Structure 1
Amino acid sequence: MRFFLNWLLTAIAIAIATFIVPGIAPFGPADPWLSFAFVGLFLGLVNSLVKPLITVISLPLTCLTVGLFQLVVNSFMLELASWLSVNLLGSGISISGFGAALMGSIIVSIMCTILGVATSD
């Protein structure tokens, strides 16, 4: 049950980021909410499988930048989730560039935190 709640919250956070950041838009023939759900699913998978490895590899750079490099890692994870969603399922979000991905990942992180606190037990 917790997985589905996290998936829903991530999809809502991606939808909010899509409406706020001008360089991110729903892509594909599916309904936009379905696109947000696809990207939310892949973002959860990427964050649990790929992000720990990238975080360990980039640890020296993260320490050197006092943790700010994690924003770049989060941006790449959002880009990867978007790419996987579009290429595997045909629907997702399109991200125009790294700046849009950076802003989108910041907004998704903030919104997931806010929504997670609002729904915590």
Structure 2
Amino acid sequence: MNLIARIVVTSLALWICDLIFDNLEIYGGDDALGRILVIVGVATIFSLVSMIVKPIVSLISLPLLILTLGLFYLLINALMLWITSWLTDQIGDWGLEVTGGFWWYLWIALILAVLQTVIGWVVPGDKRD
């Protein structure tokens, strides 16, 4: 159940980021249902990347996380967003695209993390994460 709540939170946060930023595009899906399924698919991939790759990268970069007092997490989140963009580009005719380069990944990752936190407070579920 925790994974489903995480995917719902990430879906909402990605959808809001898609509305806010011109440099972020979630493409695919011809109608409303298709669009929702694409957003949920991208959120699922982002959640899985964050669950599998992020702990490994965080462990490897532990000295940098300590040195920067946790600010390096922003760079790690931007990397997770880039990996998600790359993976969805490899899969097919739907996915996530960020144009404009590294700084946009960083900025979108910051807003996405804030939105996930705020939406996570509202969505019921296990709060032990």
Asked if TM exceeds 0.5, the reply is yes
Give the 4+ runs in structure 1 shifted more than 4 A: none
Distance 1:71 1:93 in 2: 19
The TM-score with structure 1 as length reference comes to 0.88
- C-alpha displacement at 1:109, in angstroms? 1.0
- C-alpha displacement at 1:24, in angstroms? 0.8
- The answer for the alignment partner of 1:62 in structure 2 is 65
**5+ long unaligned stretches in structure 2:** none
Identity %, equivalent residues: 31
Aligned residues: 121
The 8 Å contact of residues 15 and 33 in structure 1, kept in 2 or not, is answered as no
- Report the RMSD for the aligned CA atoms in angstroms: 1.7
Post-superposition Cα deviations, 1:61-84, rounded to whole Å, max 9, x if no partner, equal: 111212111100000001111211
- 2:104 corresponds to 1:100: yes
Distance 1:113 1:44 in 2: 14
- The answer for the alignment partner of 1:116 in structure 2 is 120
Distance 1:113 1:120 in 2: 13
Distance 1:4 1:102 in 2: 26
In the superposition, relative to structure 1, how do residues 95 and 20 fare at CA in structure 2: closer, same or farther (>3 Å)? Answer: same
**5+ long unaligned stretches in structure 1:** none
In the superposition, relative to structure 1, how do residues 29 and 36 fare at CA in structure 2: closer, same or farther (>3 Å)? Answer: closer
Distance 1:101 1:36 in 2: 18
